[in-house]
Amino acid sequence: MTSSTKDTRPTVPVGPATNFWWAFQSQNFGHVYFDGTLWAPLKGAGGQRVASWEILHDVRPGDVVLNFKSPAVQGISLVATLPTPSYPPLRGYKEPPDTNGILVLTDPLCEVRIPREDAYRILPPGRGPVTAKGSSNNGYEYSVDRDAALKLLHHAGLEIGNGGDKKPDGAWPSEQYLGGPSDTLTLAAVRTEQRYLRNQQLQLHGSSCSLCRHSYPDEFLVAAHIKPRSQCSERERMDTRNVSMLACLFGCDALFERGYLIVGTDGTIGVGKPGHGQVRDHLGYLFGRSCLAHDERSRDYFHLVSLANQAVTEARQNLCQQVKCRRGRAIDKAWAHRMLLLRAGDTLTDNAARRLAEVFTADDATGKLQAVRKVKEQLRILLRTSSLADAALAKEELKALVEASGRPETNKLYRTVCRWWNEIEVLIVTGATTGKVEANNTGIKHIKRTARGYRNPANYKSIILMRSAVRTAA
């Protein structure tokens, strides 16, 4: 019998350009359907290309997916984002966690049950998921004939609604949203990516805020990007397990996103820009705590992006003291737009770029602040390079901009880059870091501090090994 699992008749939004897809899923259906993920490796174990994997590149937001788990189609979902490079999600996939692949996020619409024999009588043989002999194709994702797909939806008791004029080639990936706030596909992409990142963090760390460490119901936790999405390289965007963290809606998310809180190289929470009143009190409560999300993989996302922004902030403050002999005030454009100075240049809207130009015209008579910001932008370019040759050229350009700025803040930043250049080269080529050693050292320091010192070295060694074993097992 073919039926929907609900008494009401769900509506499937279908537009003139909507495409239909069939996803073969086995025991992982219970995870991937409700998590809203379609993921496939870029290549097979032998390096070969697999057509039913590569077809994920053709999926577009607003498309309809028929999720099949033998012996029936058991779910209908809607595509929310364009395909993006990604490592495998935490649940439902057996590949190693560093496997390069392609990810599409979906919104589960409704559970149904369309038996295989009923579906194969409707679907044309020799096309899509059905072989010429009427059996199942051996693969993952297949395109489904539009007319046949609509018959399947009607056969399942589903209503067909108006999906609008979706433009497959004018959509946007999950890491960049275009269009106005009322755009349905934009809102769906934002909502779906937030749900996916949050679920990843909940599965990794449980229902605790990474900043205040308090446990809350899942509905009060959101996924906060450790490094702004717009500043992430392709490799970093793929690393969805480590580029975000859980933050609660009781202040921590807002304080971190607006720059009031920063996370140091050792994982300790520090104060970014100053707050006043209750904001200052809350910052004092969080200051000095260790961030739960800080580990050997996420460490670089915190630190590399903060170095350049810190140089810009210090230059702004010092220039104000040198030129105006006072601290910044609300009447100063550089102070009023201090967060705009930290924004990535390639993410500025026309209006934001205009306001930034006004800052430099009205409040940067020496041109030094603009020069420091150029250094920050060049460092971002350097960190996004994918080869040592490109990195060397970017470093030379960075050096020239540092010399042109003539500021102690940028000189200090460049010295740090030179001192860490070997590590930066390793990071660019392999993605490997020394974060694991740094995380272990930080853990040992915390043990020593909380224990108020050990007189017996054997006991000190034992507690370090036991704590390490607990963290590894967790």
Contact 270, 262 (CB under 8 A): yes
Q: Quote the pLDDT of residue 173.
A: 40
Average confidence score pLDDT of the chain? 81
Q: Does residue 158 carry a pLDDT above 70? A: yes
Q: Quote the pLDDT of residue 227.
A: 66
Q: How many other CB atoms are found less than 10 A from the CB of residue 25?
A: 20
Mean pLDDT, residues 399-413 taken together? 92
Candidate from 42-51, 78-87, 119-128, 431-440 with smallest mean pLDDT:
431-440
How far is residue 189 from each of residues 128, 163, 184, 220, 257, measured CA to CA in Å? 27, 15, 9, 20, 20
Q: Does residue 178 carry a pLDDT above 70? A: no
Give the pair of three-digit tokens for residue 5.
């699992």
Confidence tier at 349 by pLDDT (50, 70, 90)? confident
Confidence tier at 461 by pLDDT (50, 70, 90)? confident
Angle 339-181-89 (CA atoms, 0-180°, nearest 5)? Answer: 80
Q: Which residue do the tokens 């769900």 mark?
A: 10
Confidence tier at 399 by pLDDT (50, 70, 90)? very high
Burial tier of 351 (Cβ tally within 10 Å: 0-12, 13-18, 19+): exposed
Q: Which residue do the tokens 């130009």 mark?
A: 357
Whether the full predicted model's pTM is greater than 0.85, yes or no, is no
* Rounded distance between C-alpha atoms, residue 9 and residue 242, angstroms: 40
Encode pLDDT of 36-91 as tens digits. Answer: 999 999 988 888 889 999 999 999 988 999 999 999 999 999 998 888 888 888 88
How far is residue 135 from each of residues 59, 73, 127, 128, 151, measured CA to CA in Å? 24, 15, 11, 11, 19
Encode pLDDT of 244-260 as tens digits. Answer: 888 999 989 888 888 88
**Spatial CA neighbour of 2 closest among 181, 137, 122, 131:** 122
Instruction: Report domain extents, the chain.
Output: 3-170, 206-286, 299-430, 435-473
Q: Quote the pLDDT of residue 289.
A: 82
- Relative to beta strand 141-144, strand 20-24 is antiparallel
Encode pLDDT of 317-328 as tens digits. Answer: 999 999 989 988
Give the pair of three-digit tokens for residue 331.
């009447």
How far is residue 45 from each of residues 42, 276, 315, measured CA to CA in Å? 10, 56, 51
Q: Does residue 179 carry a pLDDT above 50? A: no
Interhelix angle 408-419/388-405, nearest 10 degrees = 160
Q: Quote the pLDDT of residue 296.
A: 53
57: amino acid identity, one letter? H
Q: How many other CB atoms are found less than 10 A from the CB of residue 41?
A: 17
Top-ranked range on mean pLDDT: pick from 3-17, 32-46, 175-189: 32-46
Q: Does residue 108 carry a pLDDT above 70? A: yes
Q: Quote the pLDDT of residue 436.
A: 60
Q: Residue length, the chain?
A: 474
Q: Which residue do the tokens 């042109």 mark?
A: 404
Q: Does residue 196 carry a pLDDT above 90? A: no
**Spatial CA neighbour of 86 closest among 244, 222, 265:** 244
**Spatial CA neighbour of 15 closest among 171, 135, 174, 131:** 171
Q: Quote the pLDDT of residue 150.
A: 94
**Spatial CA neighbour of 1 closest among 145, 109, 112, 77:** 112
Backbone φ and ψ for 193, nearest 5 degrees, come out as: -65, -40
Give the pair of three-digit tokens for residue 255.
């304080």
Looking at CATH, the fold of the domain delimited by 3-170 is given as: ph1033 like fold (3.10.590)
Angle 107-246-234 (CA atoms, 0-180°, nearest 5)? Answer: 65
Q: Does residue 271 carry a pLDDT above 90? A: no
CA atoms within 13 A on the CB side of 103: 28
The helix/strand/coil state of 381 is helix
- Relative to beta strand 64-69, strand 72-79 is antiparallel
Backbone φ and ψ for 315, nearest 5 degrees, come out as: -65, -40
Cα first-last separation, the chain: 45
Candidate from 35-49, 348-362, 376-390 with smallest mean pLDDT:
376-390
- Relative to beta strand 64-69, strand 20-24 is parallel
Contact 248, 214 (CB under 8 A): yes
Q: Which residue do the tokens 């909940």 mark?
A: 202
Confidence tier at 359 by pLDDT (50, 70, 90)? very high
